[in-house]
Amino acid sequence: MLEKSLIQATQIEFHRVTKMYGPVAAVRDLSLTVHRGEFLTILGPSGSGKTTTLMLLAGFEAPTKGDILIAGKSVAAVPSYRRDQGIVFQSYALFPHLTVRRNLEFPLEMRGIKATERTARVDRILERVHLSDFCDRMPSQLSGGQQQRVALARALIADPPVLLLDEPLGALDRNLREQMQVEIKSLHKDFGITTVCVTHDQEEALTLSDRIVVMREGRIEQTDTPEALYDRPANRFVASFLGEANILENLGFDRELVATQPPGTFAMIRPERICVFPADKTKRADAGQRQSVTGTVDDMIYAGPLRKYRVRVGNSLLMVREHVASGQDIFRPGDEVRLEWLSSDIRFVAA
């Protein structure tokens, strides 16, 4: 990430782009910069305009207002087939009437590359994605993961400067998804290709991206690195869309906290920042920086390495996440507990 931040050349730029479908704005006044070689993910719930943004970039939709620049040039008048981008579609869009080899040759043929070189390049990339034995299969004869790899290979084979991924892992089961995340990451590193990915899966976004753009209702809510986004969400939507967030309101326990809270914001704390103790245990020594409340366990979920508690404090429910360790106290619904956290772990987020 460091070396990338040194280059920082701009590859893609959205300049105040608006896209209307009839009276409905799918994308509103969106400005965005993607650096060369960067892996940028657009994250948002369905209907947030993330797919429209990708389609605008791909050239399948034209912006109603504003301009999109790729490598410094406006592409408003450039049709999709002259934009030189590799795209992995949500359902892969492998040509069902062509073999794997012919699918991979297609982008090379369209660029007028000779047959002998095509064969060599297809062989090379098939080896890279571990599919050399499958080159004569039809797409329907491949598993989901294999289709995904063919789609990736097909998008990359012509060395386009930009790679677009539309919900690339949405159709895969969990194990395969993790495997493919590693594969995509390593391909991105090898090819050093500027990549824009669209997803609604926060885990995928956090794992893969250099930077994440969170969108809602056609607007950008926040753009930042995964760590910064999770640790310092700009507002309540980002906080609760990316991971779980406890909003601390009406707890009526801490004047000190209320005093430092900027007006119009919410106090938020992540579930894993809260520690849980038996109610009768005394406070720790460094109590000055800590805040604590007592409550009743409402529910406990055991999730392998984690134990999740839902604790009722006054009228609110707080989520607590604790790593399973030996010698831990285990609480059952109805147990009285004390919750503690460092006041420095509290974030104030806009509404």
Partner 1 sequence: MQTLQKLGRMPIGLTVPALTILLVVFGLPIVLLFLTSVNAPALSLSNYQAFLRQPANVRVLFQTIQVSVVATAICLIIGYPMAYLITAASKRVRMVLLVLVIIPYLTSLLVRTYAWIVILGDSGLINNLLLSTGLISSPLSLIYSRMAVYIGMVHIMLPVMILPLVSVMMGIDKSLVAAARSMGAPPFAAFWRVFLPLSLPGLRSGLLLVFVFCLGFYITPAALGGLRDAMLSTLIAAQVASSFNMAQTAASAFILLGIAAVMLSVLGLDLADTKTHGTRLARKSWRSGLPSFRALTRDLNELASPYRAKRWTAKLYQAGGSSGLWTTLGTLFVLLVMLYLLFPSVVVIIMSFSGGEFLEFPPSTLSLKWYSSFFGDPSWTGAAWMSIQIGVAVAVLSTIVGTLAAYGLNRTFPRLRSFLTLIILAPITFPSIVVGIAAYFGLLNLGLIGTKTGIILTHSIGAIAYVVVIVSATLANFDRRLEQAAKSMRAGPLQTFRRVTLPLIRPGVMGGALFAFIHSFDEVVKTSLVSGFSVRTLPLKMWENIRNQIDPTIAAVASLLILLPLLWLLVLYVTGWRPRPRAQNVLPDAVS
**Which residues here bind partner 1, judged by CB under 8 A?**
22, 58-60, 79-87, 89-91, 93-99, 102, 106-107, 110-111, 136-138, 140-141, 154-155, 158, 164
- For partner 1, the closer CB: 154 or 347: 154
- For partner 1, the closer CB: 81 or 174: 81
Would you say 343 and 290 are in contact if contact means Cβ atoms under 8 Å apart?
yes
Minimum CB separation of residue 252 from partner 1 in Å reads 50
Rounded to whole angstroms, the Cα distance separating 94 from 98 reads: 8
- For partner 1, the closer CB: 33 or 80: 80
Q: What letters, b where the CB count within 10 A reaches 16 and e where it falls short, cover 176-186?
A: bbeebbebbee
Rounded to whole angstroms, the Cα distance separating 283 from 229 reads: 32
- For partner 1, the closer CB: 106 or 266: 106
- For partner 1, the closer CB: 42 or 164: 164
Would you say 235 and 217 are in contact if contact means Cβ atoms under 8 Å apart?
no
Concatenating the DSSP letter of every residue in 276-338 gives: EEETTSPPPTTGGGEEEEEEEEEEEEEETTEEEEEEEETTEEEEEEEE--TT-----TT-EEE
Minimum CB separation of residue 141 from partner 1 in Å reads 5
- For partner 1, the closer CB: 112 or 305: 112
- For partner 1, the closer CB: 97 or 323: 97
Concatenating the DSSP letter of every residue in 87-126 gives: EE-TT----TTS-HHHHHHHHHHHTT--HHHHHHHHHHHH
Would you say 5 and 34 are in contact if contact means Cβ atoms under 8 Å apart?
no
Enumerate residues 6+ apart whose C-beta is below 8 A from 135.
99, 100, 101, 104, 122, 123, 126
Minimum CB separation of residue 189 from partner 1 in Å reads 23
Minimum CB separation of residue 147 from partner 1 in Å reads 13
Minimum CB separation of residue 98 from partner 1 in Å reads 6
Rounded to whole angstroms, the Cα distance separating 54 from 30 reads: 12
What sign does the dihedral 36-156-187-178 (CA atoms) show?
positive
Minimum CB separation of residue 23 from partner 1 in Å reads 10
Minimum CB separation of residue 256 from partner 1 in Å reads 56
- For partner 1, the closer CB: 73 or 332: 73
Would you say 71 and 13 are in contact if contact means Cβ atoms under 8 Å apart?
no
Minimum CB separation of residue 58 from partner 1 in Å reads 6
